[in-house]
Structure 1
Amino acid sequence: MAIVGEEYCAAEERVLTVRKTSHFSPGDGFAAYDHRTGRLAFRADTYGRGHGGGAASSGELALLGPSGEALVTVRRRRPSLRHRWEGFLGARADGQKPLFSARRSSILGGAAAGAVVELLTPIPSSSSAAELRVDGSFPRRCCRVVAAKADSGREAVVAEIRRKVDEGARVVMGRDVFVLRVSAGFDAAFAMAIVLVLDQIAGDVADGGDGGDDTNSIGIW
């Protein structure tokens, strides 16, 4: 399922180690590394708090490739009672139509409110996955992206987020470092875009307050 590009759809499962960064302010930005090669695969930077330049304008979040090329630009749509976000292919230009729209599914509630994502630009291969949802808790770094295949009616896990485990020390690392598993054939760049949207909509729950049995539910049509 290519959404951002065919080059991000690997023939085998792709495992990324994702780290939240604080280049601009605490909690802003991500860096994702390929588990097999150890190389930087994606990074995301926020330019919304007095930091200009780069691929994104004020108030936007840019998903970049390893060379700094803009893959997806995410921005909050205002005014919005449900924290609606829009994603644009590449570096957003004036008048450009969004690739997808994301919003919190309920006006009330925080991390447990869930979200809905809609593809707004026709994707030739989207018929193979008419619906996606995120089951589990993103703040706890324990959730999965499930796609319902229109041709068979079956569901398949296309991406999964889990806490990172230090195998040597046999300890679970903090929530600032986690693992994103992307199934074979699914767009890894779009999977990272979903991560950015979940982080912006749900927000991080402060240490010691995971918010109970919070669940994010996302559907893409």
Structure 2
Amino acid sequence: MQNQQQRPSAIINPKYCAPYNVDLVIVRKVLALADSFSVTDVNGKMVFNLSASLMTLHDHRVLVDAAGEPIVTLHRKMTTTHDRWQVFRGESTEMKDLIFSVKRSYFFQLKTKLDVFLAKNTKEEVCDFKVKGSWFERSCVVYAGESLTIVAQMNKRHTAESMAFGKDSFMVTVYPNIDYAFIVALILILDEINQDKRQS
């Protein structure tokens, strides 16, 4: 039987799986009405963008690639107590295009813990991935299921530019053969959930 970690874990698309560590920089531009995110490689080359419009401020956001093509839609279910988000292929919000969903592990929690369920995991008895982190420290770790196997981690990045221009930036390391578009989507959902906690 093949080692699980050696096979590419293509959640969104195999082209976002690399056989080496992928380092990404996520920059949040703090705007008056909504935050926007850009995701670059360490050389500053654009990889993804997430912009919020007034029409889709909190419950519906679209991640696009460098060419502006939609990759996934992040959609918040408004009626759940655990902050459930669903991620769909392209600009769809139809269940047939669901890729994965994310919810807080517990309703009350000091440090954020998110359970991630792939679409085929309909029973949701055991999560496929878990996100643990302290948003105030701007750090988080993504694990494979209930294991201690780390697939990605994020840390705060301090730069002179971020201090001067009101930009928040994070350094994300995605481990080999892990879908980095999937990891970026998880971190953006983590941010949304923590924004909601600060505002409530």
**Short-chain TM bin:** 0.7 to 0.9
Any gaps of 5 or more consecutive residues in structure 2? 1-8, 122-126
Tell me the CA shift for residue 67 of structure 1: 0.6
Output one character per residue of 1:1-34: Cα deviation in whole Å (capped at 9) or x when no partner.
11111111112111111101246724x2210110
1:64 alignment partner in structure 2: 64
1:163 alignment partner in structure 2: 156
1:114 alignment partner in structure 2: 113
Name the aligned partner's letter for residue 172 of structure 2: L
CA distance in 1, matches of 2:186, 2:138: 13
Q: Report how many residues are paired.
A: 183
CA distance in 2, matches of 1:120, 1:94: 12
CA distance in 2, matches of 1:8, 1:39: 15
Evaluate the alpha carbon distance shift between residue 160 and residue 175 of structure 1 in structure 2; reply closer, same or farther with a 3 A threshold.
Answer: farther
CA contact (8 A) 2:133 2:139 kept: yes
Name the aligned partner's letter for residue 52 of structure 2: T
Alignment pair present for 1:12 and 2:20: yes
CA contact (8 A) 1:24 1:46 kept: no
Kindly indicate which of the two structures has a greater share of residues assigned to helix. 2
- Within the candidate set 172, 179, 184, 1:192 is matched to 184
Alignment pair present for 1:33 and 2:40: yes
> Superposed, which structure 2 residues align to 1:134-145 within 5 Å?
134-145=131-142
Name the aligned partner's letter for residue 199 of structure 1: D
CA contact (8 A) 2:116 2:128 kept: no
- Measured on the aligned residues, the alpha-carbon RMSD in Å equals 3.0
Secondary structure (helix, strand or coil) at the match of 2:87 reads: strand
Alignment pair present for 1:100 and 2:138: no
CA distance in 2, matches of 1:43, 1:187: 16
CA contact (8 A) 2:59 2:78 kept: no
Output one character per residue of 1:22-57: Cα deviation in whole Å (capped at 9) or x when no partner.
46724x22101101x42101111223x346xxxxx9
- Counting aligned pairs with the same residue, the percent is 28
Output one character per residue of 1:51-97: Cα deviation in whole Å (capped at 9) or x when no partner.
6xxxxx98311111001111111111121122211110111154544
CA distance in 1, matches of 2:106, 2:131: 15
Secondary structure (helix, strand or coil) at the match of 1:203 reads: helix
CA contact (8 A) 1:162 1:178 kept: yes
- Within the candidate set 130, 133, 137, 1:133 is matched to 130
Evaluate the alpha carbon distance shift between residue 65 and residue 114 of structure 1 in structure 2; reply closer, same or farther with a 3 A threshold.
Answer: same
Alignment pair present for 1:146 and 2:139: no
Evaluate the alpha carbon distance shift between residue 65 and residue 139 of structure 1 in structure 2; reply closer, same or farther with a 3 A threshold.
Answer: farther
Kindly indicate which of the two structures has a greater share of residues assigned to strand. 2
2:52 alignment partner in structure 1: 46
Any gaps of 5 or more consecutive residues in structure 1? 52-56, 123-129, 207-221
Alignment pair present for 1:177 and 2:160: no
Q: TM-score, normalised by structure 1?
A: 0.70
CA distance in 1, matches of 2:62, 2:71: 7
Name the aligned partner's letter for residue 39 of structure 1: K
Q: TM-score, normalised by structure 2?
A: 0.77
